[in-house]
Amino acid sequence: MIAARGLDIEWSHKPKKWKWLSHSDSRFAEVAKLKKVYWLEIQGKIDSRRLSKRTKYVACLVFKLENEFYGLETVNAVVRFVDSMSKKDAEKRASVVHFAGRGPRETLPFERADGWMELKMGDFFNDVGEDGYVDARLMETKKLDDKKGLIKYNAFLSFRGVDIRRTFVSHLYNALIQGRINVFKDNERLETGKSIFDELPKAIEESKFAIVIFSESYASSKWCLDELAHIIKCRKEFDLIVIPIFYNVDPSDVRHQAQTFAESFSKHEEKYKDAMEKIQRWRDAFAESGKYRGTICKITDDVLRDAKSPILIDGGKMSFSLDKKTGKKCFMVAARGLEIEWGGTPEYWEWLSHVDSRFAEVAKLKRVCWLDIRGKIETQRLSKRTKYVVYLVFKLENKWHGLETANAVVRFVDSVSDIDAEQRASVVHFAGQGPKETLPFRRGDGWMELKMGDFFNDAGEDGDVDARLMETKHLGEKSGLIYDAFLSFRGEDTRRTFVSHLYNALIQGRIDVFKDDERLETGKSISDELPKAIEESKFAIVIFSESYASSKWCLDELAHIIKCRKELKQIVIPIFYNVDPSDVRHQTQTFAESFSQHEEKYKDDMEKIQRWRDAFAESGKISGYHLQNYRDEADCIKKVVERLMSVLHIESDDDDDDVRAFIRGMDNNSPILIDGGKMSFSLDKKRKKCFMIAARGLEIEWSHKPKYWKWLSHSDSRFVEVAKLKKVYWLEIQGKIDSRRLSKRTKYVAYLVFQIGKSIPWPRNC
């Protein structure tokens, strides 16, 4: 498949006619978006020697059409061997094909499994690959009328870049892209303009959502205020959905232009005193936006109808999807949306994230005698005239007990009392034996599903439905456990920003993480739980922020981490968050002040202070991640997660466990790139580990000299680059691999993988 960048597209270098952008559904870095042309001509070439011999090939154009396209109903297409047929003859032989509309079946496009459309341009037979280049061409050059097919945006992102571009916005943008949401995000270079460009109003008008991130400096930007005024205009005229995010600001301050916003508007009024009408338009937009508090959780029916996979609603306390067969609405209430008796008591229940959950948190039962879980939903939200079944979705740990049986009941709150419901409750089993309908079954996502009951939703006028699961008669203890990396940080300055994003990225990367909670900070000494968690972790990620050393808690953690590094060979990954590694190494700047306070407070225990200082000094020497060396926080986090994933997938003391973990993450056991693309990994039929080192991972003598070696991409290579030998007298190539990465008790064979060109002058004595 040739990427758009590899095609010859007439006028594609003209921004007015074509736009180059990334697309979430594309395998390539960029796609070409047709804005407006009169002369449409797209051409792709491939060398027939690269193709399979004695094979019939079909050339297709892969594309998408936007709702508002025109002039693309019919075009001409032809496929030819360049050396055998002239361009003129090809144009005469071109056949008519249709992007849309009616026509013979073979001239119409069809939808691929990945959501793109595929249009057949023609076919050819490749004999022995000696016919030169094959040229596939699509054109509409006779009817010189407008042709247009815009790619609209799902969301437009409006924010003030100075204070949040590298932090919150980068994470939000990446999350939207990962969620396959096409987003318009203006770049810093646009800020140099003195007035809003034509591109921005157009992008806003072509978006379904506008996400406005109100930060403290938002109103200081004329650019942002112009954007906001146009967003509010589009909300009124085009029903644009506006989602405000109040980032460290109060909605009432937005509504009334108070606090920092008052200062910003005052400056604008002084600067633009001859354009008070514009100032008032900005104020009106601000006042209107401040009224939208809570709209972030409201999603229209139109959006819900498009939900093919579950989406989070109600502030993440519920998920919504449509049944694939019936189109009926399906809801799942998150643990945080349930009423769990004693759920707020850490002694009995623990709230934590789980890699297999679609929600931010799950509830983990530690120990209770009285089990009572209840969830409610309004019948108005459900599909009418539909029978619903209520399930509890759960997992049982290896060391669970007291959960063999429980009672479950589903009722309409207005029709059946709590007492009557308890009497009608049926027995269900978390585990063990019993009638089939009372036992749980395993879902495709690995969770267990236990039927609690069912009900029929008629016209949605029966009020709330209440589903309840309880075991309150046998007051024996009930309990139900889950680590791989330990996360050490100072909560007050990084917990709600960088740490939360890093933690979520690790969880999404299926890396099991221990993260200490704020409630532990109240302890006067490190608890038994923390040393154990550190010792049981393969990695310790230490986030050094300005206030890290102010916490005795963190210093105790760090000392134990360094001890485990020496004794247990634990891998320590320091992240220097707005601090310099040399300041950590020498305990200078804010760290000097913190240690000075500790020395005063613990003057009778200077041995402990020295242990903390030694741990700090040692940590500062370890190669880590310095935030200022990365584009933004998201980029830094990405590198950290990639490193952990590559090592966790390969290195393990238990070879069998390692292989199983890797197979779960592999698609059809095909090779995947690791070590920053310098190596590939796969498993053979006997589940033995196989590695291939890329040319960039080898030591090739003279490879840095363009005269002798050339680095280039190759369509047949799994790696980004291959090394092409131009001319050398001294040939030396060397590759290394750590034997600890390989399967144990296994014979390995090392190969050099290469291709030889046709025109190589072989010496006679070779």
Q: What is the pLDDT of residues 351-365, one digit of tens each?
A: 888 877 878 888 888
CA dihedral (83, 85, 91, 95) in degrees, to 10, reads -110
- Residue 670 scores a pLDDT above 50: yes
Q: What is the pLDDT of residues 582-626, one digit of tens each?
A: 999 999 988 998 999 999 888 888 999 999 999 999 999 998 899
Question: Residue 154: what pLDDT?
Answer: 57
Percent of the chain predicted with pLDDT > 70: 79
233, exposed or middle or buried, with CB in 10 Å at 0-12, 13-18, 19+?
middle
Q: Residue 25: phi, psi to the nearest 5?
A: -90, 0
Confidence of residue 575 (pLDDT cuts 50, 70, 90): very high
C-alpha distance from residue 453 to each of 424, 450, 459, 467 (Å)? 11, 9, 20, 8
Q: Residue 219: phi, psi to the nearest 5?
A: -75, -10
Long-range CB contacts (< 8 A, 24+ apart) of 607-611? 611/559
Q: What single DSSP character describes residue 471?
A: E
Pairing mode, strands 153-158 and 183-185: parallel
Confidence of residue 519 (pLDDT cuts 50, 70, 90): very low
- Lowest pLDDT segment from 226-235, 321-330, 374-383, 601-610: 321-330
- Residue 69 scores a pLDDT above 70: no
Question: Residue 435: what pLDDT?
Answer: 83
Question: Residue 479: what pLDDT?
Answer: 67
Confidence of residue 200 (pLDDT cuts 50, 70, 90): confident
Confidence of residue 562 (pLDDT cuts 50, 70, 90): very high
- Residue 551 scores a pLDDT above 60: yes
Contacts of 706 (CB under 8 A, 6+ apart): none
Confidence of residue 705 (pLDDT cuts 50, 70, 90): confident
Confidence of residue 131 (pLDDT cuts 50, 70, 90): confident
Question: Residue 195: what pLDDT?
Answer: 41
Percent of the chain predicted with pLDDT > 90: 15
Residue tagged 């993440």 (tokens): 316
Summary mean pLDDT of the chain: 78
Question: Residue 397: what pLDDT?
Answer: 78
CA atoms within 13 A on the CB side of 703: 16
Helix H or strand E segment including 546:
none
- Mean pLDDT over 456-465 rounds to 79
- Residue 387 scores a pLDDT above 90: no
Determine the Cα–Cα distance for residues 214 and 641; give it in Å rounded to an integer: 29
- Mean pLDDT over 212-236 rounds to 88
Question: Residue 361: what pLDDT?
Answer: 83
Contacts of 443 (CB under 8 A, 6+ apart): 393, 449
CA-closest candidate to residue 454, choices 422, 410, 420: 410
Residue tagged 């369509």 (tokens): 715
Question: Residue 715: what pLDDT?
Answer: 79
Neighbours of 581 (CB within 10 A): 18
Determine the Cα–Cα distance for residues 106 and 542; give it in Å rounded to an integer: 60
Contacts of 595 (CB under 8 A, 6+ apart): 549, 587, 609, 612, 613
Determine the Cα–Cα distance for residues 77 and 95; give it in Å rounded to an integer: 5
Question: Residue 475: what pLDDT?
Answer: 62
Sign of CA dihedral 50, 52, 53, 54: negative
Confidence of residue 115 (pLDDT cuts 50, 70, 90): confident
Q: What is the pLDDT of residues 331-349, one digit of tens each?
A: 888 888 888 888 888 888 8
CA atoms within 13 A on the CB side of 306: 7
Sign of CA dihedral 207, 212, 213, 215: positive
**Which two tokens mark 1?**
């498949």
Determine the Cα–Cα distance for residues 80 and 102; give it in Å rounded to an integer: 26
Question: Residue 748: what pLDDT?
Answer: 92
Confidence of residue 153 (pLDDT cuts 50, 70, 90): low
371, exposed or middle or buried, with CB in 10 Å at 0-12, 13-18, 19+?
buried
Highest mean pLDDT among 239-248, 339-348, 694-703: 694-703
- Residue 539 scores a pLDDT above 80: yes
Determine the Cα–Cα distance for residues 24 and 115; give it in Å rounded to an integer: 11
- DSSP secondary structure, 263-283, as one string: HHHHHHHHHTTT-HHHHHHHH
Question: Residue 324: what pLDDT?
Answer: 59
Determine the Cα–Cα distance for residues 554 and 548; give it in Å rounded to an integer: 7
- Residue 636 scores a pLDDT above 50: yes
Question: Residue 309: what pLDDT?
Answer: 57
Q: What is the pLDDT of residues 32-65, one digit of tens each?
A: 888 888 788 899 999 888 888 888 999 999 988 8
- Residue 651 scores a pLDDT above 70: no
CA-closest candidate to residue 395, choices 445, 438, 334: 445
CA atoms within 13 A on the CB side of 299: 18
Q: What is the pLDDT of residues 257-312, one digit of tens each?
A: 988 899 999 999 998 888 899 999 999 999 988 887 533 333 333 433 444 456 77
Question: Residue 163: what pLDDT?
Answer: 52
- Asked if residues 31 and 9 have their Cβ atoms less than 8 Å apart, the reply is no
Question: Residue 679: what pLDDT?
Answer: 85
Determine the Cα–Cα distance for residues 245 and 297; give it in Å rounded to an integer: 11
**Which two tokens mark 709?**
């070696």
H helices, E strands: number in the chain: 19, 41
- Helix 633-650 and helix 500-508, axial crossing angle in degrees, nearest 10: 40
- Helix 552-568 and helix 606-621, axial crossing angle in degrees, nearest 10: 60
The Cα diameter of the chain in Å comes to 98
Confidence of residue 750 (pLDDT cuts 50, 70, 90): very high
Determine the Cα–Cα distance for residues 486 and 542; give it in Å rounded to an integer: 9
Question: Residue 298: what pLDDT?
Answer: 33
- Residue 736 scores a pLDDT above 90: yes
Question: Residue 619: what pLDDT?
Answer: 92
Pairing mode, strands 464-471 and 386-394: unpaired
